[in-house]
Chain A
Amino acid sequence: MTAQNTNERLDLDDILADFLDEASQILDRFNENMLKLDSLVRAGVREIELDFLNEMFRGMHSLKGLSAMFGFDDINLLTHKLENILDAARQRKLIVDQPVVEVLFAGADRLLAMVKRLTQGGAEIDFTELQSQMQAILTRTASPAATLPEVPMTVETVLPPIAVSPKAAVVDPLAGVVDDPNVPAKYLTMFFDEAQGTLDTITEILLNSEQSNTLESTATLLLHAHRLKGSAASLGLNRVAKVAHRAEDLLERLKSAGRTIVSGHTELMYQFTDVVREYVDGLKAGHATTDGFGSMVIALNAAIEQFTNPQPKAATPTLINDPAAKASPVEIDCAALLATTMSLAPVGMPCVVGIATMQPGLPLVGLKARLLYDKLTLLGSVFHFEPPVEQLDDLDNIPFILFGCMTDKSAEQVAGPLTITGVVSIQTEAVAAWERAAAAETVAEQPPVVSPLATPTPLAPTVENPTAPAERQTAKEAPAADKQTEPAAKVTETLRVDVERLDQLMNLAGQLVINGACLNRVEHGLRTLVSNNASGRAALAPCDRMRRFFDNLQTLDDASAREQFEQLRGEARHLQNELERVENMVKQLIKVRGTVNDLSEAVHQLERVSDGLQKSVMNMRMVPVGPLFNRFRRVVRDITRMTSKDIQLTIHGESTELDKRMIDELSDPLIHMVRNSADHGIESPEARLAAGKPAQGTITLDAFHRGNSIVIQVKDDGKGLDPQKIKNKAIEKGIIAPSDAERMTPHQAMQLIWAPGFSTAEKVTEISGRGMGMDIVRSKIEQLNGTVELQSELGVGTTISIKLPLTLAILPSLLAEVSGEVFALPIESVVEIVDLRQYNQPTVQGLRTACVRGRVISIVNLDELFQWSRESSYGRTTHDSTTVVIVSADHNQVLGIAVDHLIGESDIVIKSLDENFRNVEGIAGASILGDGRVSLILDPNALASMATHSNHLRRQSGAKACLT
C-alpha cells in the first residue's frame, strides 16, 4: 500500500511537472494573445476575430480541465470564470472593451501567480475582488439588450444575422460528418502520398506567394485544395473532405473576386495544411485525430464571412442608418453575398437565393423591404432575410436585401413578383445540385457565433477535449506560422529532461574533457621521453663497438697471459650477454615510439569527441531568448497604460540562444531595465514632440552574439541621462564629493548610476524605483559572469548592453601561479597584464601601488590578502614579483594582483565550493585543472573589498599602536 502510494506520488510529481509545463505554456500564449487583444481593442476594433477568441477560450478551457484533474481548485475556478467571459465574447454576447481586457489581464496575472505558487509556495492568491468584477462583466452579458443600445454603431448590432437559421445552433461544424470506417488500406496509402504531395505543393505555393503573389497562385491553390477534397471524399474520409472543401470555398471566392490571397488568408491556409497534415500523419500512425478540424472550419468560415463582408464599416453599416451611404451607392459584391446566403440553404431542399438592390435614399424603404419579405413568404419558406425583418421598420436606408427562400420555383419565377418600385435590380439564383450539397455542409458548419442573437451554446465539442493533441498542436504552431517559416510539416520530437540530469551530464562531459587533457599531457610526456631518436640509435652504437672489442679479445692468444685472458674472456662473455639485453631494450624502446604515435592519435580523437560531447551537452541547455523578451511586451504595455506615454517595444534577435539558467536569472534585471527605460527614459508624447521626436517612444530589446559572448541590449530613444543631474544627485546622496564631481567626465558621471543607493528618478514612481537599484541589476549580471555597460546621450537615448558568457558552466579564465598554487581569474574581469618594471611603483602609506597609464593601482599579494592556515608547500611569493594582472572590480575599481607567473588562458568548469563545503571570501569557486588538481577561482570584486577592508584594519591597528 505504502509502496503504491510512493509510486503514485512519484508519478504525480512527474505529472505535476507536466502540468506546470503545460500551464505555463498556455499562460504564455494567453498573455501573448491578451496583448494582441489589447492592441486590437485599443485600435477600436469592436469585433474581435472569432478564431482568435476561440483560441484564447481554448487555452483557458484546457487549463481548466488540467487544473480540475489535479484538484487545483483556485486555478480551476478562475479559469472557469475567464472561460465564461471569453465564451460570452466569442458568442458576441459581450463586447470586448477596455474594462474586459483589464479584467482578463488581471485574471491572467492571478493565474500565473497561482501556478508559480505551486512550485514556490506562498500565500494563497486572493481573487475575490476580481471574481466580483468578472461577475459584473458577465451580468452585463446576461442582458445584452441593456448594453447594446449604448453602442448603436457597433458592428455587433448590425452583423448580418445569418445564423438566425435554426440550424445555426449546431455547435460542431462537423457534427454528423463521419469518416467511412472501412477504407481499404491500399487506397489509404495512395491517399497518403497524394495528400502529402498536395499539401507540400500548397505549402510551397504559399511560401512563394509571400514573394510573388499572383492570381495564378490562387488558382493553383484552389486546384490543389479541390484535388485534396476529391481524393479524400472518394475514400470516404468525409471530415477531411469537408475541411478541404471550406478551404476551396475560400479560395474560390478569392479567385472569382479577382483577388490574390492576403496574409491573413495565407496564415489560414498554413493552418489548414497543418491540420490536414496532422490528420494524415495520425491516420498513418493508426489514430487519426480530427480535433483540429472543427476550429479550422470555423476559422475558414470566418474568413469566408470576412471576405464576403470585407469591411464591415464600409459595407455592413449601410444596412443601417448611415448617412454616408445615402450619398454614394455602395458597391456590393453580389456574387459573394449570394454565395454566403447559399451556404445557409437547408439541406436537400430546392432553394432560390437572391439579392435585391434598393434605390438609394428611397423613402419608407423599410416598408418596401417588408413588402418584399411578404412576397417571398408567399413564394415559399424564407430561411434568410437580411436585414432582419424585425429591424426593417427602424431602418432608414437599406441598400440591398439579401434573401434565401425554400421554393420549388425557378430563379426567374422568384424574381418576377419581387420587382417592385424602389428595387433597382434583382438578382436571383437557384441553388444547383452541387451547390446544394455544399450548402448542406455549410449549414452544419456555420458557426453559431456570428450572430449576437444566436442562442447561447455550450462549449463546442472541439474544445471539449483539452488534451487533444491536435488542439495543442495548432496552438503551439500558430506562432511558428506567424513567422511564416516552416509550416509545421516537421514535427520535432522533444523530451523533457530534469535540469539536474543535464547538469550531471554536463559535469561528466566536463570531467571527460579534463581527463582528455590529462591523457594528452601523459602522451606528451611519453613522446618527449621516446622521441629522442638519435639517443636511441646512439645507445646502440657503443653496443656494437663493445661487441667488436669482445670479438677481438676472443681471437687474441698469448700463451704467457693465457690464464688472465681466460678470465678476461669470461668476464667479456658475461658483459656481452648483458649488453645484448640492453640492446634489446633499446630496440624495444624504438618500437614503443611507434606505439606512442598511435596513442597520440587515439588521444587526439578522444579529445575531439569529448569536446564535441561537451558542446552538445551545452547546447542542450540553450534556449532562445524570445520568450523572455516577449514577456516585456506586457511590462511595457502596463507602463504605457499607467503613464499615458506611448511606447513601442521592438524586439530583435529572439532566436539567439542562451543558457536556460541564465534566461531565468536575467528576467529580473531586464524587467528593471525596461521599466527604467519606459519610466525614466521615454518622455511624455508632448515632450517628445517638442523635442522633435515622434510621439511614440521606442524601446528596443536586442540579443546577438559578439565573439564568445552574447550581448543583450536594452535601448530607448528617450531623453538620455543628464550627467550634471547625476552628479548633483550623487553629491546629494553622498556617493561622491563635489570636488570629485567637477573632475568627472560625462561618461564617468553616468557610471554613477551603478552606485548603490542611487536612483535618478526625481520621484519614486509606482513603476520603477522600488528599491532594486541599478547596483543590484549590475551585481545580478555579474553573478552570471557578465558585464554591463551603459551609454547615453542627452536627448537621444540610452543603451544598456549586457555582455554574458555563452554558458554558465564554462568560465573562460586566465590561469596564473601564485606561491605554487594555480589560481583562475575570470577573463572577463582581466583588464591587462603588466610588467611592473616598466612603471613607477610608489608606495602609498606603505601599500604597494603602481602608476599604470596615469592611474594609480593598488597591488595586492594574495599571500598577504588571504589568511592561510598553512604554508604553501612551494614557499611564499617573492615580494618583488613583477607580473601583475590588473582586474576590474565593482564601482569602476581596478586592482592589481601580483602573480609569480602566468600559465595561460583556459576554459574551466566552475564547481561551487558550497556544494560540499561552504563559500569562502574572495573565492568564486573551484575548478579542476588539466592535471586533475583543484584550482581556486578568484573573485575580483570580493578581492577588492577585502583589500580595502584589510587596509582599513591595518590603519586602525596602526593608529591604535600610535595611541598606546
Chain B
Amino acid sequence: MSTATLSAANDARQGEAAGSLQLVSFRLAQEEYGIEITKVQEIILMGEITRIPQTPPYIKGLINLRSAVIPIFDLRLRFNLPEEPATDETRIMVVNVGGKTLGIIVDAVNEVLRITKNNICPPPLTVEALGQEYLTGLVRLENKLLILLNIDKILSAPEAAIAAG
C-alpha cells in the first residue's frame, strides 16, 4: 500500500520534472524555432565578424566574446536558406555545445517559454529542407507551431564530417 503511494508520488514528480521544458524561441525566415534554454549562454547583438578561410559558407567567422574567440554560425546558410543582411532584430545566440562555446545568427529572438512535453509531437516525415535528424520535434502552441531544434546535432554533425573529410 505504502509502496504504491510512494511510487505514484514519484511518478508525479518525475512527470513534472520531465514533462516541462523551457525554451528560447527565435525566428528564422518566417519560421519559429525553439532551443532548450539550458544550451543558451547569452544573446548578443551582431558585431563585426572576422571571416576565416577554409571553412564552409555557413561559418561566418570569429568574434571576440569577452576575450574568448568564438565562431559564428549562420543558421540561415546552415539550413540552405537565402542569406539576408542583418537587421535591427538580428541576434547572435551564444550556445554551449559539446564543451565549446559558439554563436548562431538568428533573425530575431522572441521569448522564453515553458512547454509541457505532451505538447511535443514527432516531426512530419517530409521535412526535406532541414533533415530530420536535427529536429527533436514540433511544439504545438495555442496559435503557432514551434520547431524544436537539436542544436548539438546541427552544429556538431557537419563539423565532424568536415574534420573526418
Contacts and interface: CB of A to CB of B under 8 A. Distances in A.
Interface of A: 507-508, 510-511, 514, 821, 862, 866-870, 872, 911, 913, 915-918, 920-923, 926-928, 932-936
B20 interface: no
Contacts of B66: 511
A906 to B, nearest CB: 15
Contacts of A508: 67
A188 to B, nearest CB: 54
Contacts of A934: 50, 61-64, 69
19 contacts: A867-B53, A867-B54, A869-B55, A870-B57, A911-B68, A913-B62, A916-B68, A916-B69, A916-B100, A916-B102, A917-B70, A920-B53, A920-B55, A923-B53, A926-B62, A928-B67, A934-B61, A936-B52, A936-B62
B101 interface: yes
Contacts of B162: 918
Given A918-B159, A926-B62, A866 B67 contact: no
B56 interface: yes
B71 interface: yes
Nearest to B102: A916
Contacts of B135: none
Interface of B: 48, 50-57, 59-64, 66-71, 100-102, 159, 162-163
A920 to B, nearest CB: 5
A271 B48 CA distance: 63
Contacts of A915: 68-69, 100
Contacts of B59: 869
A911 B66 CA distance: 12
Contacts of A868: 51, 53
A933 B54 contact: no
Contacts of A511: 66-67
A916 B101 contact: yes
Contacts of A921: 54
Given A933-B64, A934-B63, A918 B50 contact: no
A470 to B, nearest CB: 45
B57 A869 contact: yes
B50 A821 contact: yes
Contact of B54 (A507, A866, A870, A916): A866
A510 B67 contact: yes
B71 A916 contact: yes
A926 B67 contact: no
Report the 3 A-B pairs with minimum CB-CB distance, sorted nearest first.
Answer: A866-B53, A511-B67, A869-B57
A935 B50 contact: yes
A922 B53 contact: yes
Residue of A507, A821, A872, A928 ringed by the most chain B CB atoms within 10 A: A928
Nearest to A929: B64
Contacts of B159: 918
Given A866-B54, A869-B56, A920-B53, A932 B64 contact: yes
B42 to A, nearest CB: 14
Contacts, number: 79
Contacts of A862: 53
A920 B54 contact: yes
Contacts of B102: 916-917
Given A922-B53, A936-B62, 11 more contacts: A821-B51, A867-B53, A869-B55, A869-B56, A911-B69, A916-B69, A916-B71, A927-B69, A933-B48, A934-B62, A936-B50
B67 A923 contact: no
A867 B64 CA distance: 22
A341 B62 CA distance: 83
A917 B100 contact: yes
B52 A920 contact: yes
Nearest to A508: B67
Given A511-B66, A928-B64, A934-B62, A872 B51 contact: yes
Nearest to B59: A869
A518 to B, nearest CB: 11
A935 B60 CA distance: 14
A955 B63 CA distance: 37
Contact of B67 (A514, A821, A867, A920): A514
A934 B63 CA distance: 6
Contacts of B54: 866-867, 920-922
A918 B50 CA distance: 15
A574 to B, nearest CB: 37
Contacts of A916: 68-71, 100-102
Residue of A821, A872, A918 ringed by the most chain B CB atoms within 10 A: A918
A935 B63 CA distance: 9
Contacts of B57: 869-870
A507 B67 contact: yes
B55 A926 contact: no
Contacts of B51: 821, 868-870, 872
A918 B48 CA distance: 20
A935 B68 CA distance: 12
Residue of A510, A821, A923, A934 ringed by the most chain B CB atoms within 10 A: A934
A867 B52 CA distance: 9
Nearest to A862: B53
Contacts of B101: 916
A933 B50 contact: yes
Contacts of A922: 53-54
A923 B67 CA distance: 18
Contacts of A935: 50
Given A866-B54, A869-B57, A926-B62, A917 B67 contact: no
Residue of A510, A920, A921, A935 ringed by the most chain B CB atoms within 10 A: A920
Residue of B68, B69, B163 ringed by the most chain A CB atoms within 10 A: B69
Nearest to A914: B100
Contacts of B60: 870
A596 B85 CA distance: 37
A913 B70 CA distance: 8
A24 B57 CA distance: 50
A511 B66 CA distance: 8
A45 B60 CA distance: 72
Nearest to A913: B69
Contacts of B63: 934
A934 B66 CA distance: 11
A926 B162 CA distance: 20
B156 to A, nearest CB: 11
A870 B70 CA distance: 18
Contacts of B67: 507-508, 510-511, 514, 911, 928
A808 B162 CA distance: 29
Nearest to A935: B50
A354 to B, nearest CB: 82
Contacts of B100: 915-917
A529 B143 CA distance: 53
Nearest to B103: A916
Nearest to A928: B64
A821 B60 CA distance: 14
A514 B62 CA distance: 17
Contacts of A932: 64
Contacts of A869: 51, 55-57, 59
A821 B50 CA distance: 7
B101 to A, nearest CB: 5
A870 B63 CA distance: 16
A862 B159 CA distance: 24
A295 B51 CA distance: 67
Residue of B71, B162, B163 ringed by the most chain A CB atoms within 10 A: B71
B26 to A, nearest CB: 21
A867 to B, nearest CB: 5
Contact of A928 (B52, B56, B61, B69): B69
Contacts of A911: 67-69
B154 to A, nearest CB: 15
A817 to B, nearest CB: 12
A869 B59 CA distance: 8
A897 to B, nearest CB: 14
A922 B53 CA distance: 9
Contacts of B64: 928, 932-934
A883 to B, nearest CB: 20
